[in-house]
């Protein structure tokens, strides 16, 4: 959420960003409703004050033994004031609701170095690490490898739970858990506090963290309850501090490994093969809360992005870092990097990680503040990053490390988490 005073002073800039992010909102209409809200609030407060004065006056008249006619006239004025007040309060409630409804659609501004563009095709490559492997044999994709090693069963996943569902088995489960534990251990060494978080949250948590109202169609709702399944542990980690005044002398670094759920509405026909776009997955997420210092939060954005890159380097996977353009950014994001990992079966890089700096947009909605040196309260900056997401990461992990005989090499960093296994061999027989 942006400060309304700031929006009034920067109407054109906010409207431009809304258009860039593809959000349909009239900032002029928002400001008109806010102006009406403020005017009605003054009217309501004036009428309440008048009513109180008139009521006190009636008491004085009665105590003084004033004529009944004079008392009745005063009571009539109170009645008329109450009628006007009821109308004004109804109009005020409507104006407040409309202002809040429109304000919830207002996007965060974007950093000066965010590239302009309409889609991920306009994202700009920042750096490329590692070389795509050249195979001297016929390549197998991750599904063929998964079936060969009896690690993945999509057919039974669909039978049990519908499209975009799967079972992991055997070594597939070990890999799935190994990459998560490797990520957690790395973040622990970097001073992150681990949380085990709720996977179901209230609507207000989704609103406060900026995932609603625009992301409702991507989220599963629990029937007959005010609860939703989270698509990222970012939501419960940020909500942990909602409506609190925190100690931000040092950045608060949180991490969680959790199951996540996404409905993937609007993705029909996209990435239907294999494990790339599924309804249920696991993520290790980084979240940081810090002082409202743009220099500090920019430095932290580079750090959490570097953490994800370090993991990919440990997994010995080629990747590239992309600066995300305006049209590919979410409503809440100020600046974003995506990391794309080389996926041989695609002959292209596929998104596996994302890093975002939200400035104080999320903290304003969540009412997370800290005391500055002068004692004043300020909204903090928040950041998030996907350290690893599985099973998507299994796609490049299996494909890049496959051997000619169908076996799969396990990177050295993962071997301790795989019971010392150095490679996944073909099943005997």
Per-residue model confidence as pLDDT tens digits over 250-287: 999 999 999 999 998 766 666 668 999 999 999 999 99
Residue with tokens 């004004």: 88
Residue 268 confidence (pLDDT): 61
Residue 63 confidence (pLDDT): 87
3-state secondary structure of 14: helix
Average pLDDT over residues 322-350: 97
Residue 369 confidence (pLDDT): 98
List 277, 320, 371, 409, catalytic entry: 277
pLDDT above 90 (res 289) = yes
- Map out the domains of the chain as residue ranges: 4-103, 120-424
Average pLDDT over residues 110-124: 97
Listed in sequence order, the residues at least 6 apart from 385 whose beta carbon sits closer than 8 Å to its beta carbon are 285, 286, 304, 305, 307, 308, 353, 354, 355, 356
Question: What is the average pLDDT score of the chain?
Answer: 96
* 128 is annotated as an active-site residue: no
Token digits for 181? 């534990």
* 365 is annotated as an active-site residue: no
pLDDT above 70 (res 309) = yes
pLDDT in tens, 384-426: 999 999 999 999 999 999 999 999 999 999 999 999 999 999 9
List 258, 297, 345, 354, catalytic entry: 354
List 38, 351, 407, 409, catalytic entry: 351
List 140, 164, 369, 392, catalytic entry: 392
CA separation, residue 330 to residues 21, 120, 154, 311 (Å): 7, 12, 31, 25
* 320 is annotated as an active-site residue: no
102 preceded by a cis bond (ω within 30 of 0): no
Beta strands in 147-199 (DSSP E): 152-153, 167-168, 193-195
Residue with tokens 């890089």: 349
Token digits for 31? 């400001």
* 277 is annotated as an active-site residue: yes
CATH class name, domain 4-103: mainly alpha
Residue 65 confidence (pLDDT): 87
Residue 207 confidence (pLDDT): 97
pLDDT in tens, 167-200: 999 999 999 999 999 999 999 999 999 999 999 9
Q: Among 48-62, 82-96, 171-185, 346-360, where is mean pLDDT lowest?
A: 48-62
Residue 421 confidence (pLDDT): 95
pTM, entire model: 0.93
CA separation, residue 235 to residues 103, 157, 279, 383, 386 (Å): 20, 27, 17, 12, 13
* 63 is annotated as an active-site residue: no
Average pLDDT over residues 54-59: 89
pLDDT above 90 (res 67) = no
Which one of 62-66, 78-82, 243-247 scores highest in mean pLDDT?
Answer: 243-247
Residue 72 confidence (pLDDT): 87
Token digits for 108? 């965060």
pLDDT above 80 (res 429) = no
3-state secondary structure of 159: helix
Residue 267 confidence (pLDDT): 64
Please give the distance of CA 340 from its chain centroid, rounded to a whole number.
Answer: 19
List 37, 51, 262, 364, catalytic entry: 262
Q: Which CATH architecture has domain 120-424?
A: 2-Layer Sandwich (3.30)
Residue 36 confidence (pLDDT): 98
Residue 133 confidence (pLDDT): 95
**Distance in angstroms (rounded) separating the CA atoms of residues 213 and 233:** 18
């Amino acid at each position: 959420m942006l400060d309304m005073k700031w929006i009034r002073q920067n109407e054109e800039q906010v409207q431009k960003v809304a258009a860039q992010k593809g959000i349909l909102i009239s900032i002029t209409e928002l400001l008109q409703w806010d102006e009406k809200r403020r005017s009605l609030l003054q009217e309501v407060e004036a009428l309440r004050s008048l009513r109180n004065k008139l009521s006190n006056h009636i008491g004085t008249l009665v105590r003084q033994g004033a004529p009944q006619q004079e008392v009745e006239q005063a009571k009539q004025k109170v009645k008329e004031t109450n009628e006007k007040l009821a109308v004004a309060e109804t109009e005020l409630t409507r104006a407040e609701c409309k202002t809040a409804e429109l304000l919830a659609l207002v996007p965060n501004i974007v950093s000066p170095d965010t590239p302009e563009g309409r889609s991920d095709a306009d994202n700009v490559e920042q750096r490329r690490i590692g070389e795509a492997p050249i195979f001297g044999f016929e390549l197998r994709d991750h599904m063929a490898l998964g079936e060969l090693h009896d690690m993945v069963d999509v057919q039974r996943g669909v039978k049990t739970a519908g499209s975009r569902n799967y079972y992991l088995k055997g070594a597939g489960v070990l890999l799935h858990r190994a990459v998560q534990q490797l990520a957690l251990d790395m973040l622990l060494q970097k001073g992150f506090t681990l949380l085990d978080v709720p996977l179901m949250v209230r609507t207000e948590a989704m609103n406060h963290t900026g995932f609603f109202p625009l992301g409702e169609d991507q989220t599963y709702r629990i029937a007959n309850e005010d609860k939703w399944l989270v698509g990222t542990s970012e939501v419960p980690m940020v909500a942990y501090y909602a409506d609190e005044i925190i100690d931000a002398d040092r950045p608060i670094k949180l991490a969680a490994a959790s199951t996540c759920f996404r409905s993937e509405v609007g993705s029909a026909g996209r990435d239907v093969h294999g494990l790339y776009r599924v309804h249920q997955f696991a993520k290790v997420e980084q979240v940081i809360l810090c002082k409202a210092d743009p220099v500090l939060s920019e430095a932290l954005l580079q750090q959490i992005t570097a953490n994800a890159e370090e993991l990919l380097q440990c997994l010995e996977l080629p990747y590239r870092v992309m600066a995300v353009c305006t049209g590919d950014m979410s409503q809440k994001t100020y600046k974003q990097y995506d990391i794309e990992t080389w996926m041989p079966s695609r002959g292209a890089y596929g998104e596996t990680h994302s890093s975002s700096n939200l400035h104080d947009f999320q903290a304003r909605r969540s009412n997370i503040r800290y005391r500055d040196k002068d004692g004043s309260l300020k909204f903090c900056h928040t950041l998030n990053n996907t350290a690893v997401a599985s099973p998507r990461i299994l796609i490049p992990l299996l494909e890049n490390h496959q051997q000619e005989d169908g076996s799969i090499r396990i990177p050295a960093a993962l071997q301790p988490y795989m019971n010392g296994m150095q490679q996944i061999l073909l099943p005997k027989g």
